[in-house]
Every structure is written in C-alpha cells, then in structure tokens.
C-alpha cells in the first residue's frame, strides 16, 4: 500500500462518493443476502456456505463488507475532523458505533433469556452478561460498531503506522489463540472460560476476541482508501492486484500448516487432542516434528474453495481458514481476495462506466438494506423449507431479493432530500 499522506483538502475536492466502492459495497451487501438466505438450505453448495474448515465464496463476503467499512471510515473521519474538529468527530463516532451495537441487539436479540423471575439473581445475571460478551453480541453490525471504536485512536495515523498495527494485531490474535482463545471460541475446556463462567459455550465470528482480526480487515480497507486517494487509478489497480496476490499467497501458505495435523502412522508427534478427538492436541503451535519424511507435495493444503479431509484424516486446528475463530490464514487470504475483486470494480467502474443498479442501491443504502433484509428473509424462508429443491430455493431467493429491492428503494426515496425547484 502507498505510504503517501492524504491531503484532506485534495480529498474534499474529489467526488464525495467513490463509484467503485459504492458498487463493491453493494456487491458485498447482495452477497451477504445470498449467503444468509441459502446458507441453511440442504441443496446449497458448500461454496455458498460457511464451513469453518476451509475458505468459500460465502466466507469472502463479511471480510469484504468490513473492508468497505474501513475504506468509508477513513474517508469519513478525515472529512469530519477537517470540518468539525477531532473532539466532535470522536463523539459522533462513539454515538454511531454504539447505535450500531444497539441496532444489532434489536435485530438479533440478547441470545439467552431469563425463564423465571427467580432466575434473575446474581449468578443468572453474571452468566447472562458473560455469554453476551463471549458470543451472543457479535453479529455483524455490533462487530462493525465496536471495531470502529477500537480503531478511533489510530484511524488518522499514517499508512505505515496502521500497517504496523495490523501486523501486530495478527500476531496478537495468534498468541492469544495459542494461550486460550482457540479453545475458548470452540467451547472446549480452558482457563478463561472457567474464569468467565461460560464453560462449554461456543462463539462465532471470533467472539469477543475476534474483534482483533476484524480490526485487521478494517485497517486494510482504510489503507486502500489512502491508496485510491493518493495514486492514479491505473497505479492503484496495479498495487491492489499485487498486494492481493501476495496476501492470498501468504494466507494459503499459512493454511498449509494444517497438513502437519494429518493423521498418519509415521507422525513423530501425536496430533489427537485428549479433550475432543476432532481437534488437534496443539492447534496453534504446529507439530514441526511431523515434517520428517514428508514430501513437499504432501505438505500442500487443498486449494481455497475445496473441501479438506474430515476430522478422521485431519484434526481441527488454528491454521485452517476458519471463520468461526477468524484465523489469520482466513484473514490474510480474505483481504487478498478482496483487494483483487475490488481492483476489478475499480477497472470496471472508475476507468470504465459499469453501473449495476442493484449494487448502487444496496451500496449507497447499506444499513437500510441490511435492516430490511433480515425480516424479509425470515418471512420468505417460512415457505422455503430446508429440504426445498433447487427450483423452489431459487424462486424463493428471487422473491426475497425483489421484496428487499422494493422496500429499500421506497425507504431510500423517502429519505432522499427533495431537489429545489428552479424558478
């Protein structure tokens, strides 16, 4: 990424909207709707589902959305600080971020609940709050809100500083996962669950410590904003493609460590955990001794989008591209893929004239679209059973998209300021 400083004056002189990012954000929102609708249906191919053992197209959507949030977050903060000052900007970001967390809770609920008044005692309240912090809070809007709050002190820093912070956060997540977080997310025995009082409870999308990984994605988006605002479009595309290829290669290379957890008679170190035979005994620190006698070909992991062997042949470990834990192989590969995909949007929309109406509508009204899609999906899925055939699942999804499109259009038009009539 470019380390050139961003001039707020020059930035404000540019268009208030970046067409390629609007289109890309709309693509990510539409992709999220596809995954959320089809993910629970039996007919859906694994590429359109979250699998937690390997990377799928479905897994690329949430990182893409947070990447777009990081891009917009950097742009918004720079403009607002220049106009209103840092204190007012930070207060505004605090309100917006907490608002996203509250909206997430309204949409998805608090997770657990109290069955009786007698259950509202100190132990019950402690368990309720602990499980909310560990797992139940972390839907995408809450993740975005809290991640923005965590990055408020650094979002104005130079690109080099933010890149260094992103690298440090990746290392931190690996270290915490080796200490306790991997077992913590999967609900396996660990000291932190014992202390928190959430033993046996699994998390998703990384839980509370997943924010460390999602911060890396958002910082990557902020760096791409700097790139787009300081370089020519052709130069930016080149950097995006090269950076994306390097990061995808890094993510895949890290995922190759999973092959050290293959169940083989020749293993120098046993790989099976005594906690749960599905898992590796040392899921984060690889059993390097198992390299002995292995050919290079046998150490290459399956390509992304391809299913790996089951847990009978390979034990679950941190180096899989795992969205549940939000492992760093997952993060690095997803950021790289996002950079490459976004580069094509820049070519098509900023150098070219591509405009997809659906992407424009969802990209410019992402929050409204997200709020609307949830109840619409629930309604349509009431008549699309889990075992629906392909033709009915596709029909249901088209109906769901049409209703969502109509409602988002109506809300967007209702809140669009009327243009003054010329005399």
149, 94 in Cβ contact below 8 A? yes
pLDDT at 67: 98
CA 143/CA 326 separation, integer angstroms: 13
Alpha carbon separation from 224 to 90, 93, 160, 239, 241 (Å, rounded): 22, 21, 12, 9, 12
β-partners of residue 316 are 279
Averaged confidence pLDDT in the chain? 91
Task: Say what the pLDDT of residue 122 is.
Answer: 87
Give yes or no for residue 17 having a pLDDT over 80: no
The DSSP result for 188-221, as a single string, is -S-HHHHHHT-TT---STTGGGHHHHHHHHHHHH
> With bands split at pLDDT 50, 70 and 90, how would you rate the model's confidence at 7?
very low
pLDDT value of residue 416:
66
- Which of 150 and 52 is assigned the larger pLDDT? 150
- Whether the Cβ atoms of residue 8 and residue 82 lie closer than 8 Å to each other: yes
Residue 110: predicted pLDDT: 87
- Tokens linked to 383: 């008549």
Which of 79-83, 322-326, 410-414 is predicted with the least confidence, judged by mean pLDDT? 410-414
The pLDDT value recorded for residue 377 is: 95
Domain ranges of the chain: 14-70+157-364, 369-412
| CA atoms within a 13 Å half-sphere pointing along the CA-CB vector of 175 | 7
Confidence of residue 420 (pLDDT cuts 50, 70, 90): low
Question: Is 80 exceeded by the pLDDT of residue 27?
Answer: yes
For the chain, give the percent of residues with pLDDT over 90: 82
- Point out the least confidently predicted range of 155-169, 284-298, 409-423: 409-423
> Higher model confidence: residue 16 or residue 208?
208
pLDDT surpassing 50 at residue 376:
yes
Quick one: pLDDT at residue 14?
A: 44
Q: What is the tens place of the pLDDT at every residue in 214-268?
A: 999 999 999 999 999 999 999 999 999 999 999 999 999 999 999 999 999 888 8
DSSP 337-385: HHHHHHHHHIIIIIIS----HHHHHHHHTHHHHHHHHHHHHHHHHTTS-
User: Average of pLDDT values for 134-161?
Assistant: 95
């Amino acid at each position: 990424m470019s380390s050139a400083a961003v001039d707020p004056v020059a930035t404000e002189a540019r268009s208030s909207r970046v067409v390629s990012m609007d289109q890309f954000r709309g693509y990510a929102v539409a992709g999220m709707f596809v995954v959320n609708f089809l993910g629970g249906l039996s007919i859906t191919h694994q590429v359109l589902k979250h699998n937690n053992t390997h990377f799928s197209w479905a897994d690329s959507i949430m990182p893409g959305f947070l990447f777009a949030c990081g891009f917009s977050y950097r742009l918004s903060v720079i403009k607002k600080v220049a106009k209103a000052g840092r204190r007012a900007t930070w207060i505004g970001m605090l309100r917006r971020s907490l608002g996203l967390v509250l909206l997430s809770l309204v949409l998805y609920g608090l997770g657990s609940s109290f069955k009786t008044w007698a259950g509202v005692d100190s132990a019950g309240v402690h368990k309720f709050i602990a499980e909310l912090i560990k797992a139940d809070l972390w839907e995408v809007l809450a993740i975005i809100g809290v991640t923005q709050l965590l990055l408020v002190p650094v979002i104005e820093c130079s690109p080099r500083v933010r890149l260094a912070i992103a690298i440090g956060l990746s290392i931190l997540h690996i270290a915490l996962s080796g200490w306790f977080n991997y077992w913590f997310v999967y609900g396996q025995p660990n000291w932190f669950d014992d202390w928190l009082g959430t033993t046996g409870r699994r998390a998703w999308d990384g839980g509370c410590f997943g924010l460390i990984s999602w911060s890396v994605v958002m910082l990557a988006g902020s760096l791409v904003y700097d790139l787009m605002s300081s370089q020519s479009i052709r130069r930016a595309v080149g950097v995006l493609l090269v950076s994306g290829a390097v990061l995808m290669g890094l993510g895949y290379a890290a995922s190759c460590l999973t092959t050290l957890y293959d169940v083989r008679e020749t293993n120098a170190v046993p790989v099976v955990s005594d906690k749960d035979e599905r898992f590796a005994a040392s899921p984060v620190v690889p059993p390097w001794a198992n390299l002995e006698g292995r050919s290079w070909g046998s150490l290459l992991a399956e390509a992304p989008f391809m299913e790996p062997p089951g847990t009978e042949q390979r034990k679950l470990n941190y180096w899989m591209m795992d969205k549940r834990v939000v492992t760093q192989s997952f993060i690095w590969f997803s950021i790289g893929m996002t950079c490459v995909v976004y580069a094509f949007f820049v070519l098509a929309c900023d150098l070219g004239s591509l405009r997809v109406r659906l992407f424009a509508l969802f990209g410019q009204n992402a929050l409204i679209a997200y709020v609307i899609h949830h109840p619409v999906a629930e309604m349509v899925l009431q008549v699309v059973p889990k075992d629906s055939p392909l033709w009915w699942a596709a029909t249901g999804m088209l109906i769901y998209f049409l209703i969502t499109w109509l409602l988002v259009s109506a809300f967007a038009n209702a809140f669009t300021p009327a243009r003054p009539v010329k005399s």
